Structure formats: C-alpha cells, structure tokens
Chain A
Amino acid sequence: MIKNYFKTAWRNLVRNKVYSLINILGLSIGMAACILILLWVQNQLSHDRFHKNLDRIYIVNNRDIGDGGKFAWSWTPNIMGPTLKKDYPEVADAVRYVEGNNFLFTVGEKKMVPSGAFADPGFLSVFSFPLISGDAKNALAEVSNIVLTEKLARSLFGADDPLGKIVKIDSNAHFKVTGVLKNLPDNTAFDFAYLLPWSYKDKLGWTDSAWGNNGLNTYVMLKPGTSQATFDQKINKITTNHLPGDPLYKNREVFTQPFKDQWLYSKQENGRYIGGRIDMVRMFTAIATLILIIACINFMNLSTARSEKRAKEVGIRKVVGAQKKGLIFQFIGESVLLSGIAFLFALAIVIIFLPGFSTLVDQQLHLPFTDPLFWMSAVTFILVSGLLAGSYPAFYLSAFNPVKVLKGFFKSSTAAVNPRKVLVVIQFTFAVLLIISTFIVMQQIKHAQARDNGYNAQHLVFVKMNGAIENNYSLIRNELINRGAVVSVTKSMSPITERYSDSWNFSWTGSTEEDKKTDFVRMASDADFVKTLGTKLVMGRDIDIFKYPSDSNAILLNETAAKMMHLKDPLNAILKADDIEWRVVGVVKDFIYQSPYEKVQQLIVFGPKSWFNTMHFKLNPANTTRQNLDIVAAIFKQFNPEYPFDYKFVDAEYARKFKEEQKTGTMAALFAGLTIFISCLGLFALSTYMAETRIKEIGVRKVLGASIFNITSLLSGSFLKLVIISCVVASPIAWFVMHNWLKNYQYRISIGWPVFAGTALLVMVIALVTISFQSVKAALSNPVKALRSE
C-alpha cells in the first residue's frame, strides 16, 4: 500500500512540474534559511560549554550604585582571587585572567607581536583547553614558563617540537615553553595566542593589592555541591569589608555569574545581567521559525489549491474502500516525502552558502555530519515540517464527500474568509513585519553613522607605544613632522576610538562629597590634542607641553564634564585627583570615543603628568597615503627597530563600531528578502492555479465583453486585498517590536509613518507583479479555446 501511495505521490510530482518545483523550492529555501539560523543559534548556545567543570565555574562581578541606578561590571581587583581562595573553603580554585598583552616575541631571527593573556597557574585546570603537550597542572607554575597555542608555536618554531624551547619576550626576559594548547575553538570567549603566568605580571610590577583597582577577571571554581546563592551571600560585602569606613565603597557588592551564562547574558540592566546575545539568539530563533512556517504555509496552500485535481482520486479511493484514516496517512506521508526531498535540496543550499554566512555572522559554522544528533534532528525536522505542511491538506482532502466530488459538485471555496486566504495573510504579515523591521534597523544604523562624531578621522593614524617609542618620542615626533609625512602628533592614553580608563574620587572648586562618585573617562595628551584629532575647542586652548612647561598638570574637559561639574567658568578651575592638582586649560566639544549609539560620557584629558600608551598622528594630506606611510614606517624602523611597525587608521576603527548592528541589519535584510520571496513563490503558484480554474469564467466574461483590464483587476484584486490586510496587521506589531528594540540605544531614530507606507507600497508592487504574470496571461487567452475545452 505504501508503495502505491509513493507511486501516486511521485507521479503527481512529475506530472505537475511547475507546482512541484515551486512547492519544493519554497520549502527548501525556507528550510535552508532555518538551518543556517539554527546552526548559528547552536554555535551561540555552545559557547564555552565544553569545559568539564562548567557547572562549578563562576565569574566574579561588582555591583554599585551609580548615576541613575545600579550597575555591574566584571572587572575585579588583583587581590580578589587570592583572597577568595584563601578565606572561603568552598572555593576549589580562583584564577585571574586578563588579555591584552602586546609583547615582542623573538625566536632566533623571528620577531612577532602576538596577542596573549596573563593567567593564574590554575587556569588550565579550571578551564578545559586541551593540551597537545605539557601538563595542565604545572605548565604555568614557574615565572618563566609560557604556554603557546599550536598555531603560534608553529609560526615561532616551524615543525620542531616547541616543548622546552626558549622564547625571548621584549628585550630581556626568557621563557621556556611548557605547554602547547590545541588552537582555541571558535566557540569560546577567551582569545589568546599564548598564556604567561600571573607571577610574571607580579614581577613586572603590574599588580597591586588595592581593593579599589579593577583591571582583570576573576573566575572561581566552587567545590561540588556548593550553592551559588549561599556563596554570593558570603562574598557580597567582601570589598566593603576590606575597605572599612571608606564611603566610596560602602555600597559595593560582589556577586557571581555562572560562567556558562557569560556569553549569552552580558548586558546588564540595573546591576543584573539579564540580556545580551541571548536576545539575538531568541530573535533569530523566532525568525527561523517564522520562515519555516511561511514555507510550510506555501506548501499547505498549494496542496489544498491543487486538491481539486486530487479530489477525484480521493473520491475514487473512498468508493473502493479507503477510510479517512488511510487517506490522512497517505497525504501526510506524501508531504513528509516532499519535505524529505526539500530537506536534501536545503542541505545543498546550506553547503553552498555556509562559508558566506559564516563570514557574515563572524563565526565558523559547520554542518555536523558525523554527529548522530544532527541526523536525529534532521529526521525530526523533516517530520515536523512535513506534518506542519501536510496536516491541513491531509484533513481537508480526506474529508471530501465522494459523491459530490465524483459528480463534479466540488468547488473551491469562495467564502470571504477561507483558510487559504487566512494563510496568505499570515504569510504576508510575517514578511511585512520583517521588512519593516529591516528598514528600521537600517535607518538606525544610518542615523548613528551620520552622527557627528566630533572629530576628524581623515588621515588619522595611531600606533601603540611599544619598545623604544616612549624613549625616542621627541625624536620620532620631530622626524615625522620634519620629513613632511605628518602634520601633527599627539600622545594619548588610548586610541580615540576607545576608552581604556575611567576614574572617580575627584574634587574641584565647589564640588560636593556626592560628586566624588562621578565617574570620569580618562584620556591624555602632551600637545596638539585638538589640532591632531580635529576636535573642536569650545573655550580655552589645547594642552601644549612644548610651549607651556607647566602644562604637565593641565587638563581639557569635554562639554559634558564641564556641565556635570557645574563650573561657571571652567577655565583655570582646579581639579584634585589623589594629591595632584590639575588646571583646566580648555573645553572641547563632545566627541564620540565609545559607542555612537550612546550619549557621550564626561571625559577629562590629562596632561603629560599622567601616562601614555598610544600615539596619534595626522598624515600630510598633500602626499599620498602610501608615500606618507613609507616615510613613517622608515622612521619607526629607525627609532624602534625591535618591533614591527603596526598602525591603524582611525576611520576604519570607528567603522568597526557599527559592525554588530550592521550584522543584524544584513541578517534581517537577508531573511526579510527570503520571506517575501518565498511568499511570492506561493502567491505565484496560487495565482497560476486560480487563473487555471477560472479559465472558463474568464472565457465567458470575455465573450460577454469584459476588457483585459477588467479581467486582470478581477483576478489581481482579491489577492491584493489580502496583501493590504497583511500590511495593516503587521504595522502595529512591527512598531511595537522595533520601538522596544530601539530602547537599547540612547541615540536613536523615532519611527515615522513613511517606513510603514513605503513597505506597504513595496510589498503591494511586488505582489502585484507576481500575480499579474498569471492574470494578464489569463486575460489575454483566447476565450473560444477556453470554452471549447469544456
């Protein structure tokens, strides 16, 4: 019997090539999109899930009260880890970890500046990064040990066994390779090419035991059976207790977050980690489901529309003894078969587009062919889509009354509300929803991109001040300017596109005790901050240590800071930090150094008495960039010969701030495009079908004098009405969803009506074009032929 069903299904498929193609194609595209998204979702959900101790690892966080509520952050003091380990018996291990090392590595003639991290010796035991050689327990035990990843080891030592070999770091320290790690998997938040022992950080004098200095991550591994809640309660006041009486720390709380949540829940609201990547994961899971539903709706619609052709078969089968159950089984089986075929096509599509999609989402995604779970999910997927797509037609078809069908009494429903129309409306509602959302995401990105960032990034370059740059700074500066490659230079604490440092506990003329809690972002400059970066002075002047020797204590404020400090006359105001007095020499217009979606926070640019680690310079616009960079490279080679010359363009760095949103935008656009495409495929098939079934009616109407326009609008009108209903339904939903999304951004657009009107128009035009193919064709057909075929 199954064979008989199969035969009927297959012959039906082959006999109706266009329908079958549209049916399978629509379903495959929907499935492929769904699979791609689910692969990404799976990747996100698998982040750092491979650690054996996962359920016992927690990251230590701080929480405090700041302007407008509580806020949390995961940077902790150096002393936190050792204290937790020493004083709390439930802690099996506590490890400190910080990335961002830019040491110069030398092996023989080879020099490179890989990026790495410092970690406590327990790091490799707490986390499960597999070692190719060496021993996890002792690899970071000695101050002169180093652990490399396979890739770095290969580029330093080639094919030789790296274990026991020596790496020179900067100009003086020698390290013995005590471990080689497998390259880090793609789905980990950790990012390092090597690990240096924490003791080396101590040795460099880069650590302290201040409870108020937060600059690293602390991970604790609790003993089995310890509850997070109890532990959190115990450590809640640990910082406050170590700084008794200090009013600045009286509200400080310490709490843990399960490490397995760190990737997905990194966004905090009022001091709690409640969202982050998980929002995207949820959103795109929803989109994946929607796309699959839309594709399945196509399938349902086409199958039921075609049911008139299958009606006779149903009637006959019933007459010769089929029962409803058997027919339902037959039609569901048929749709599962189709969905199986569609799945194979979908796999092919996925294989073709996976590399591109991986680039788009910036994660290396794979189809896990060897994983039995994958095949089980695949079967489930086929069954679910088959059932989803086939159940309605199955019940619909099997319910036909054989007498009516065989008598030709059966007619497709022309009722005002029939399921097929409802399904089309649902489909287009989803499509319109996605399109509106895409437009709004893009508008928001454009809006932020168009925002005046307050400085001039053109020809602006920065380099990290490593090796001998600091010592030779004046020489380099003079040479750069004298040789005409650069028009101006400024040293700073961080690239202008980033914030490295912030601080509080400042006082100034007229400040209150409460003001000490205000957190200021810190930057620094020796001279020409305004001139080089192209920021705008609102009052006063640039810091210039070369002209005014007393400027080593000078500061610039941004406008927000000046406002925040309630300074009537900011110029020459005195700011006290610790015991140093700083004098305001100028106020600059706010510029964006962080997120273009947020308002600019109060910022202080400190004079040369602070520290520097970045050098900005403006290339000479009179020359080509190539000429400039050649000269610049030569100068750095001369004064900092040990280090490779590494530079970045500020405009490129600034553009990276839009990457996340652009990714969202591109993905949304992609999937919105797919939904409308799939929906239109369905519409096309439905209109083809409708034109076919109404061919006699059209013939009669034409004989009676209807014009081509009459006929076309008769046929298109009914579909267009459905599309309009969809727009009306989708618009408020889209408004609601996107209104909430925009709340994530302080600097945002307001949603206006044009985006709704524009989308409605767009979708209507697309739908009309799709339908009119068939309706015009039907309208042009020769009525005599149509009538004779009866």
Chain B
Amino acid sequence: MIKITNLEKIYRTEEVETVALNDLSFEVRDGEFVAVMGPSGCGKSTLLNILGLLDDPDAGSFLFNGVEVAKFNERKRADMRKKNIGFVFQSFNLIDELTVFENVELPLMYAGVKKSERKARVDEVLEKVQIMHRRNHFPQQLSGGQQQRVAVARAVVNKPKLILADEPTGNLDSSNGNEVMQMLTDLNEAGTTIVMVTHSEHDARYSHRIIRMLDGHTVTENILV
C-alpha cells in the first residue's frame, strides 16, 4: 500500500536547518499494523504527516497504492486524503462548535455522502465505539477517553483503507488507552491498514511490526508476528 524510498524532509527557518527525515525508506503492505517508535524529535510526526498527504517531502518517492503522490498538488492531495485516509491525533482535534454526531459526520459531508446514508453510517460507528448516548454532546462535555473514541469514530466513518494515528493514547490513562488500542486492533482485523506512532512499548505490542527511527532514519525493524 505504501512504499517510500529515500524520503527527505528539511525544515528551514531563518537561523537553522533541521533535517527531519533523512534518506528514509520502507514499505507498508495492505492490512498491516505498523508501529513507529523513536525518541522525541526523530521525525515520527513528520513522517506521518507526509504519509497522510498533509505535507509534502522535499525529495524521494512516495507510492500510494502504486501511484506516485510525492508531487501532488494541494487539491489532488485533499482528494486522495478524503477517499483513503483517516487520522487519529494525540490531542483528539475535535471541532468545539460541532456535536459528537456532527464531528463524525464531517468527513462524509466532504465526501458528498447523502444525508440518510450519513446518518446510518455515523450511528453505526458511534454504536461501535460506544458513544451513541453522547451523540448530541459537545467535545468539551466529554472525558479524554470519550473524545478519543469520537476521534477514532471520525477516522473510520468513511471506511478509509489507511488509518494514521499519532500517539493516540498519549493523553489517556491506561484503561482508556487499552480501549482505543483494542478498537484499532479490531479495525485492523477488519482489513484496515494502520500506521501508528507511539512512545509506549505496551501499545506497540498490538502491532505486527515496529519501525524504530533515529534522526530521521530507520534503525531497526522488529517483526512481532
């Protein structure tokens, strides 16, 4: 599904140049669950943003389902993104002005799904993440774990082929964290490819394979299954 080769990303500010990704190459196959680990600042989030087509690399190739997307323009990226990719962030990133239901509904709206179908699909995922009873609440009225469940619901509602999760449990206690990890595992078992950044060895154990990074580079790969 994903094949990156010699990927490079450099951040330039007035004083310094930071090489965030340096000659990075790896592959993720369909249906895989990959965890990315490494010390703070090694480029994990940068990588995830590029995989999620939120950002573009400075050099290298990025094949998504066999299509070269590294040089896509903003419009094409947005299009590709909304059809194929779901995101889960450490800090949930729900829109404060929208209710749980409306937040989850949003990707479907941008995908142009009809209203009746939207309702059915949102209700279905909300049921699955057990947040149905809070569907008309605003994010501020929910606990962190509940918010992250909404975020996961939003990430999967459009049935993406790939879910990118950046420290999805980082702001959660262990029991809420485990619940989210279980949800991701279930999704993966249902066929969704997952790439997850984490600092937790515990969480990483849910995955099939761990990619360890250092200074924008992969250093080792541990295959768990």
A residues lining the B interface (CB < 8 Å): 1, 4, 7-8, 11-12, 15, 312-313, 315-324, 326, 401-403, 406-407
Contact among A7, A11, A403 for B54, CB-based, below 8 A = A403
Best-buried of B82, B87, B95 by chain A (most CB within 10 Å): B95
Residues of A within 8 A of B219 (CB): none
Partner of A316, one of B45, B79, B93: B93
Verify B78–A321 contact, CB threshold 8 A.
Answer: yes
Given known pairs A15-B97, A323-B75, the reply for A4 and B102 (CB within 8 Å) is yes
Q: For the complex, what is the distance from the CA of A406 to the CA of B167, rounded to whole Å? A: 14
The one of B54, B75, B102, B109 in contact with A324, judged by C-beta atoms closer than 8 angstroms, is B75
Complex contacts, B91 vs chain A, CB 8 Å? 406
Q: Which of A4, A320, A401, A406 contacts B154 (CB 8 A)?
A: A320
Q: Contacts of A312 on B, CB cut-off 8 Å?
A: 93, 95-96
In the complex, what distance in Å separates the CA atom of A321 from the CA atom of B81?
Answer: 6
How many residue pairs at the A-B interface have CB separations less than 8 Å? 72
Most B Cβ at <10 Å: residue of A316, A323, A324: A316
* B70 to A: closest C-beta gap in Å: 16
Report whether A8 and B95 are in contact in the complex, using a CB–CB cutoff of 8 Å. Answer: yes
Is B179 interfacial (CB-CB < 8 Å)? no
Chain B contact residues, CB within 8 Å of chain A: 45, 49, 52, 54-55, 74-75, 78-79, 81-82, 87, 89, 91, 93-98, 102, 105-107, 109-111, 154, 158
Cα distance, A316 to B94, chains bound together (Å) = 7
Distance (whole angstroms) from the CB of B112 to the closest CB of chain A: 9
Indicate which residue in B93, B94, B97, B158 contacts A11 across the interface (CB closer than 8 Å).
Answer: B97
Q: What is the bound-complex CA distance between A321 and B78, given in angstroms? A: 6
- Min CB distance, B168 to chain A, in Å? 14
- Residues of the A chain whose Cβ atoms lie less than 8 Å from the Cβ of B89: 406
Is there contact, CB below 8 Å, between A12 and B97?
yes
Given contacts A324-B74, A403-B55, contact A319 B97 (CB under 8 A): no
Q: Hey, which chain B residues are within 8 Å of A313, CB to CB?
A: 95-97
- Whole-angstrom CA separation of A312 from B55 in the bound complex: 17
Q: Contacts A321-B81, A323-B78 hold; do A4 and B109 have CB atoms under 8 A apart?
A: yes
Q: A4-B102, A312-B95, A403-B49 are in contact. Are A320 and B54 (CB under 8 A)?
A: no
A405 to chain B, nearest CB (A): 10
Main SS class of interface, A: helix
Interchain nearest-CB distance for B181 vs A (Å): 21
> B148 to chain A: closest CB distance in Å?
14
Q: A9 — nearest CB in chain B belongs to which residue? A: B97
Q: For residue B74, which residue of chain A has the nearest CB?
A: A324
Cβ contacts A to B, 26 pairs, < 8 Å: A1-B110, A7-B102, A8-B98, A11-B98, A12-B97, A312-B93, A312-B95, A315-B93, A316-B93, A316-B95, A317-B95, A317-B110, A318-B78, A319-B87, A319-B93, A320-B82, A320-B87, A320-B154, A321-B106, A321-B107, A321-B158, A322-B110, A324-B74, A401-B55, A403-B49, A407-B45
Whose C-beta in chain B lies nearest to the C-beta of A314? Answer: B95
Give the complex CA separation of A324 and B73 in angstroms. Answer: 12
Of A319, A323, A324, A401, chain B has the most CB atoms within 10 Å of the CB of A319
Q: Contacts A313-B95, A321-B107 given; 17 further ones with Cβ under 8 A?
A: A1-B109, A1-B110, A4-B105, A4-B106, A7-B98, A8-B95, A8-B98, A316-B94, A319-B52, A319-B81, A319-B87, A322-B78, A322-B110, A323-B110, A402-B54, A403-B55, A406-B91
Q: Are A8 and B97 in contact (CB under 8 A)?
A: yes
Chain B contacts for A8, CB-based, 8 A: 95, 97-98
- When distances are taken between beta carbons in the complex, the residues of chain A under 8 Å from B97 are 7-8, 11-12, 15, 313
User: Complex Cα distance A252/B56, Å?
Assistant: 81
Whole-angstrom distance between the Cβ of A204 and the nearest chain B Cβ = 81
Which B residue's beta carbon lies closest to that of A310? B97
- Chain B contacts of A407 at CB under 8 A? 45
Greatest chain A CB density within 10 A among B74, B89, B96, B111 is at B96
Docked CA distance A7–B106 (Å): 12
Residues of chain B within 8 A (CB-CB) of A324 are 74-75, 78
**Complexed CA–CA distance, A7 and B97 (Å):** 8
Residues in B whose Cβ lies below 8 Å from that of A317 = 95, 106, 110
The distance from the CB of A40 to the nearest CB of chain B, in whole angstroms, is: 41
Cβ of A321: which chain B residues have Cβ within 8 Å of it? 78, 81-82, 106-107, 110-111, 158
CA distance A296 to B87 in the complex (A): 37
**Bound CA span A1–B111, Å:** 11
Instruction: Kindly state the separation between the CA atoms of A4 and B104 in the bound complex, as whole angstroms.
Output: 12
Flag if B55 contacts A320 (CB, 8 Å).
no
Task: Give Cα distance in the complex from A8 to B158, angstroms.
Answer: 21
- Across the interface, name the chain A residue whose C-beta is closest to B95: A313
- Please, which residues of chain B bring their CB within 8 A of the CB of A1? 109-110
CB distance from B69 to the nearest CB of A (A): 16
Q: Is there an interface contact between B110 and A326, defined as CB atoms closer than 8 Å? A: yes
Q: In this complex, what residue of B is CB-closest to A319?
A: B87
Which residues on the A side are within 8 Å of B158 (C-beta)? 321
Contacts of A406 in B (CB 8 A): 89, 91, 93
- For the complex of A and B, list the 7 residue pairs with the smallest distance between their C-beta atoms, beginning with the closest: A321-B82, A321-B110, A11-B97, A320-B107, A323-B78, A8-B97, A403-B49
B109 contact set on A, CB distance < 8 A: 1, 4
**Separation of A317 and B81 alpha carbons in the complex (Å):** 12
The smallest beta-carbon distance between A403 and chain B, in angstroms, is 5
A317 to B97, CA, bound (A): 12
A8 and B109 CA atoms in complex are apart in Å by 14
Instruction: Provide the bound-state CA to CA distance between A15 and B140, in Å.
Output: 13
The complex places the Cα of A230 from the Cα of B26 at a distance, in Å, of 89
A623 to B77, CA, bound (A): 94
- With a cutoff of 8 Å between Cβ atoms, the chain B residues found around residue A11 in the complex are 97-98
Which of the listed residues B52, B55, B93 has the most CB atoms from chain A within 10 Å of its own CB?
B93
Q: Least Cβ distance of A460 to chain B in Å?
A: 72
- List the A side residues contacting B75 at CB < 8 Å: 323-324
- The answer to whether A319 touches B110 (Cβ under 8 A) is no
Partner of B106, one of A15, A320, A401, A403: A320
Name the distance in Å between A309's Cβ and chain B's nearest Cβ: 9
Query: How far is A8 from B106 in the complex, measured between Cα atoms in Å?
Result: 12
CB distance from A100 to the nearest CB of B (A): 69
* A401 CA / B79 CA spacing, docked (Å): 16
How distant is A312 from chain B, measured CB to nearest CB, in Å?
7
Q: Nearest chain A CB to B1's CB is how many angstroms away?
A: 19
**CA of A7 to CA of B78 in the docked complex: distance in angstroms?**
24
**Alpha-carbon separation in the docked complex, A323 to B53 (Å):** 13
Q: How far is the CA of A320 from the CA of B158 in the complex (A)?
A: 10
Q: Which residue on chain B has the smallest CB distance to residue A8?
A: B97
* A324 CA to B45 CA, complexed, in Å: 23
Complexed CA–CA distance, A403 and B81 (Å): 14
CA distance A103 to B197 in the complex (A): 100
Give the residue name and chain of the A residue nearest to B107 (CB). A320
Q: Which residues of A contact B96 (CB under 8 A)?
A: 312-313
Q: Which residues of B contact A323 (CB under 8 A)?
A: 74-75, 78-79, 110
Cβ of A4: which chain B residues have Cβ within 8 Å of it?
Answer: 98, 102, 105-106, 109
